[in-house]
Amino acid sequence: MFKHKLSGVLIFLALFPIAFYQYVISSIGFGSVSIIQVSLLIFTLLLQKKMSLSGFKSKIFWTSILFLVFCTVSLLLNPTSNPYSETKRGQLFLVLLNMLIPVLLIVNKEQIKTIVYFLVLYSFFISILALLLGRYENSRLVLWDMNPIWLGRLALFQFLWFVILFVRTKSFLYLLLCGIPLFVVFKTSSIGPLLAVMLSLFFLIYCVHKTYKKFKIFYFIYRFFLQLKYLIFILLCIACYWFFTVSNFELPASFFYRKEMISNVFDFSNITLSGVGFGNFYVFGDYAAVFLYPHNIYAEAFLELGIIGLCLLILYTVKIFKLKKINDDYQIYLFVCTFYSFILALFSGDLMTGNVGIYVFPLLLIKYNYLLSKE
């Protein structure tokens, strides 16, 4: 048992960039991150003296591999001197490595439970550090040199777990703990992560109730408001305070700029079979002077990888959300983190390390489902 938990800690340390990737890469570089991850992979293999190949049976895994292979082919067929395109070569390797770690190394469900615990603790620890040691830049809370949006994204991983525990136990302590990540999000003025977690909250409650029994939609709505009436009241109060005092009813200019950019990406004139080339968003007019990518993974796939790339990404998404078997809190958490990652990817980050959670969380869920089925 101890060996499985220790290997779970090592796997978490290899996968922690799910939540903090951009800051780590910018701090120590792709090469250092790769060396650390490969070293942890080898050390974990030496510790547990075995690996599992069950993840290779998953259609979701091979669909994602097919998509990444197409990204690689696009890079090779569209050579460019654009620095961001070069960066994506390293990102492709890191994403693939992050996918292989859970597929190969996880052999026991205790490892996944340990990963969940440490992700929640890590999220909680960073949130407390931000509140105690953070500083304000342009009225937004910042920890070290991390983008405030990334701080908000990271903080909300604990929120989703605390909500699950609150629904299960009805303990007021977990309700209070939910306030810490929300406070961090409001201090960072992270509208995107807040929207993503609110949508994920409805999805989470649906999954929680689904583990009990089948119910009609009206019963679900009734139970939802009954069980979360205090949380909803607190959230509404905080939201009203924020809108009246912080936002002044004005969404940031970047919101409208991204909305316009994404809608223009999907213009019919941009339809091609294989796109302009992976990482070549710089060809897209004036928008490229502000952003390196369109901040929407489907728009990015459509422009850079064409119809083929977009269809592969949609196929991957559909296969993930066709997973229906939900039995316990860890499955719910991993499923909701997958949902949360995909919602974030609609308006933040790119197809690679900026949204690596869309590749890793589904694989953790698949491995956990497989291990449960063998009990």
Q: Are 18 and 360 in contact (CB under 8 A)?
A: yes
Which helix (H) or strand (E) element contains residue 132? Answer: helix 109-133
Q: How far apart are CA 184 and CA 6, in angstroms?
A: 30
The residue type of 302 is F
Give the model's pLDDT for residue 348.
Answer: 81
Which tokens belong to 283?
């060809």
User: For residue 292, what pLDDT band results from cuts at 50, 70 and 90?
Assistant: confident
Distance of CA 303 to the CA centre of its chain: 22
Q: How far apart are CA 59 and CA 51, in angstroms?
A: 19
Residues near 175 by beta carbon (within 8 Å), at least 6 away in sequence: 162, 166, 230, 231, 234
Q: Are 17 and 126 in contact (CB under 8 A)?
A: no
Is 158's pLDDT higher than 90? yes
Is 307's pLDDT higher than 80? yes
Q: Work out the end-to-end distance of the chain between its first and last CA atoms, rounded to an integer number of angstroms.
A: 16
Per-residue pLDDT tens over the stretch 2-27:
777 888 888 888 887 554 555 566 66
H runs (alpha helix) in 277-296: none
Q: How far apart are CA 61 and CA 57, in angstroms?
A: 8
Q: How far apart are CA 236 and CA 128, in angstroms?
A: 23
Higher pLDDT, 51 or 98: 98
Per-residue pLDDT tens over the stretch 100-145:
888 888 888 888 999 999 999 999 998 999 899 888 888 888 887 7
Compute the CA torsion angle 54, 56, 59, 60 (nearest 10 deg).
90
Which tokens belong to 306?
């064409």
Instruction: Give, to the nearest 10 degrees, the angle between helix 17-48 and helix 83-105.
Output: 40
Compute the CA torsion angle 352, 95, 198, 291 (nearest 10 deg).
-20
Residues near 254 by beta carbon (within 8 Å), at least 6 away in sequence: none
Does the pTM exceed 0.75? yes
Give the model's pLDDT for residue 147.
Answer: 79
Q: Tell me what the pLDDT averaged over the chain comes to.
A: 78
Give the model's pLDDT for residue 117.
Answer: 93
Q: Are 188 and 148 in contact (CB under 8 A)?
A: yes
